[in-house]
A and B are shown apart, each in its own frame.
Chain A
Amino acid sequence: MGTASGRRSRWGLRTLGLGYLALLLLMPLVMIFYKTFEDGISPPLEAITSPDGLHALQLSLLMVAIAVPLNTVFGVGCALLLVRHKWRGNSVIDAVINLPFAISPVVIGLSLFLLYGAKGWLGPTLSEAGIEILFSVPGMVIASVFVSLPFVVRETVPVLQEIGTEQEQAASTLGANAWQTFRRVTLPAIRWGVAYGVVLTTARVLGEFGAVSIVSGSRSGETETLPLFVQKQFDNFNTAGAYGASVLLAVLALTTLLAMNVLKRKEDA
């Protein structure tokens, strides 16, 4: 353990690991930050405070505000079902939940297009009822929910398995009904698993491009989220706008991660 060769190989491995991360993850991010503020803060700031930029930010936050709570409630419920109620259908549910991970977002977008489009299964019926899914906010919400569905489930299942059922049984012997047991015993015990799932879901919804791009039609100022805005600015050679919006996206995602870490540290102290 404490031998010279052991120390050398440990440092060698560390250097290799850090170098790999730096090359693949850190350097591109640093480049974006550098490029964004190359000519000062005003060009990127102007781009994101333009009406289209602000609208894209609003729309992205709206996606988060709808998709994250939905997937959190669904995810916790689904995890409870998978872990606490053993039955045969569980393996099917377990496999289906992984679909959004397995399928490319573009394919998800296309399949939604086929389902809700003018010639799709549900499109015409909904159209008659006055509900437009495609090229509008509802379709974008559906796409966002779809792609970010597995995170809360996947983060919550192992924590639920780990805490076991004894605390819940103890609560029921003390007179707590199912809801009280969940509220006061299960949820506090799994909260960090859920929180981590929420952070990942948020990051995924903020960053989603492929599926949303297909179902939204990407109309500036109407159905354009921040990633779509980045793409459009980039296509129009407005690099300041593209970089500025990219940095904004990165900051939003990092803030959620940081907020969770701060909360956790405060509680652990």
Chain B
Amino acid sequence: MGISVEGASKRFGDFQALNDVSIDVPNGSLTALLGPSGSGKSTLLRAIAGLETLDGGRVLIDDEDVSKKPTQKREVGFVFQHYAAFKHMTVFENVGFGLKIRKWDKAKIADRVHELLRLVQLDGLADRYPSQLSGGQRQRMALARALAVEPQVLLLDEPFGALDAKVRKDLRVWLRNLHDEMHVTTIFVTHDQEEAMDVAGQLIVMNEGRVEQSGTADELYEQPATEFVMSFVGEVNRLGEHYVRPHDMTVSLDRDDGAEEAMVQRIVALGFEVRVEFVLADGTEVWAQLTRAELQKLELREGQIAYLRPGQTKSFSGDVPSPDGHGASTPHGSQDDGDAEVTAAA
């Protein structure tokens, strides 16, 4: 059951949430809609479910135009960020809700609900109320509830957004495994690029109501189509008109033609990796990702002068506004020295 959206647009008052968005999600895939808040990703997901009506464009599920169909007839499973658990129902009743609506008989409902509760590892908790569950358990219950009716497609709106870091990571792995078993076409909205890359095979990057780029995690990382994708997917430094990944920075203590003079501002050890923050002569702040061994060899100290040589750089034509990449900033538009030496190699 593939999902397509063609030319979707949606406006809330003065805010253009979706601006002529078209996407294609192949049958059986697990796709992430990735973007910052306000990029339109949740609106797009809700429009696919029929929870939002589009001003223009259409939604196709399995090549059928469902734009005019009400939500309850679209057969989509939907998981909300804040669980949307039915508070007055037990876990059993929550999961069985869709089946009861479909008038299944009691014995069949009980079988199916228990099967699903085993799948989401909640089998002992059927008689609990949602208020007696942890956040992670509630979200798994919500997932079981969505899956109970065997939806054509599964839509998850920031499903792990309200959970703490450890539970998030566990559920990511779990969702990926679940998808490998069920093969239901799944779209999953997140603002967390690491989460998107971890869970999904396909990514669609959105920004300001438009699709910036779609592809695999590798494609987005290696061949970003726009400035926005470059800085949103993965870490990036900006040197004038050029972008360079922090792990593509070569640091040396010897003065070297074509290298930028920079002062070490801060050294942050992050386990195996070390993050070294520099400030260039013109005030630009950049950082380099080194291994512990590299750092020890260089014997870098805070306040020391070093020379940076960017490896692969990338530049984009046009003046697309760039979001703040981590540690990257440009205090002013043009640099009079040094800039010319950082040449595009990509």
Within 8 A of B (CB), among A58-86: none
Within 8 A of A (CB), among B76-102: 76-78, 80, 82, 84-88, 97-98, 101-102
A188 near B: Cβ within 8 Å? Answer: yes
Contacts of B191 in A (CB 8 A): none
B314 near A: Cβ within 8 Å? Answer: no
Binds B, one of A27-35, A169-177, A219-227: A169-177
A180 near B: Cβ within 8 Å? Answer: yes
Contacts of A169 in B (CB 8 A): 51, 71, 78, 80, 84
Decide if A166 touches B77 in the complex (CB within 8 Å).
no
B145 near A: Cβ within 8 Å? Answer: yes
Q: How far is the CA of A189 from the CA of B104 in the complex (A)?
A: 24
Q: How far is the CA of A174 from the CA of B88 in the complex (A)?
A: 17
Contacts of A175 in B (CB 8 A): 72-73, 75, 98, 101-102, 149
A261 near B: Cβ within 8 Å? Answer: no
| A164 CB, nearest partner CB in chain B, Å | 9
B70 near A: Cβ within 8 Å? Answer: yes
User: CB-nearest residue of chain B relative to A185?
Assistant: B86
| B70 CB, nearest partner CB in chain A, Å | 7
Q: How large is the interface on A (under 10, 10 to 19, 20 to 34, 35 or more residues)?
A: 10 to 19
Given contacts A169-B51, A188-B88, contact A176 B72 (CB under 8 A): yes
A127 near B: Cβ within 8 Å? Answer: no
Within 8 A of B (CB), among A126-172: 166-167, 169-172
B146 near A: Cβ within 8 Å? Answer: yes
| B152 CB, nearest partner CB in chain A, Å | 12
Within the complex, which residue of A166, A174, A177 is in contact with B97, where a contact is CB–CB below 8 Å? Answer: A174
Q: How far is the CA of A166 from the CA of B98 in the complex (A)?
A: 16
A184 near B: Cβ within 8 Å? Answer: yes
Within 8 A of B (CB), among A211-233: none
| B56 CB, nearest partner CB in chain A, Å | 22
| Binary contact readout B48-79 vs A (1 if CB under 8 angstroms, 0 otherwise) | 01110000000000000000001111111110
User: CB-nearest residue of chain A relative to B87?
Assistant: A189
Decide if A173 touches B71 in the complex (CB within 8 Å).
yes
Given contacts A167-B86, A185-B86, contact A173 B101 (CB under 8 A): no
| Binary contact readout B132-154 vs A (1 if CB under 8 angstroms, 0 otherwise) | 00000000001001101100000
Decide if A172 touches B71 in the complex (CB within 8 Å).
yes
Given contacts A167-B86, A185-B86, contact A174 B101 (CB under 8 A): yes
Contacts of B102 in A (CB 8 A): 175
| B77 CB, nearest partner CB in chain A, Å | 7
Contacts of B86 in A (CB 8 A): 167, 170-171, 185
Contacts of B149 in A (CB 8 A): 174-175
Decide if A189 touches B84 in the complex (CB within 8 Å).
no
Decide if A166 touches B87 in the complex (CB within 8 Å).
no
Decide if B72 touches A177 in the complex (CB within 8 Å).
yes
User: CB-nearest residue of chain A relative to B70?
Assistant: A172
Within the complex, which residue of A170, A172, A180 is in contact with B80, where a contact is CB–CB below 8 Å? Answer: A170
Decide if A172 touches B72 in the complex (CB within 8 Å).
yes
Contacts of A173 in B (CB 8 A): 49, 51, 71-72, 74, 76-78, 146
| A86 CB, nearest partner CB in chain B, Å | 12
| A88 CB, nearest partner CB in chain B, Å | 14
Q: Could you list which residues of chain A lie within 8 angstroms of chain B, going by C-beta atoms?
A: 166-167, 169-177, 180, 184-185, 188-189
> 15 pairs across A/B with beta carbons < 8 Å?
A166-B82, A169-B51, A169-B84, A170-B80, A170-B84, A170-B145, A171-B97, A172-B50, A172-B51, A173-B49, A173-B74, A173-B146, A174-B101, A177-B72, A189-B88
**Nearest 8 pairs of A and B residues by beta carbon:** A174-B98, A166-B84, A170-B84, A173-B78, A172-B71, A188-B88, A175-B101, A172-B72
User: 11 extra interchain contacts, Cβ-Cβ under 8 A, other than A167-B87, A175-B149?
Assistant: A169-B80, A170-B84, A170-B86, A170-B142, A173-B49, A173-B51, A173-B146, A174-B148, A176-B72, A176-B98, A184-B101
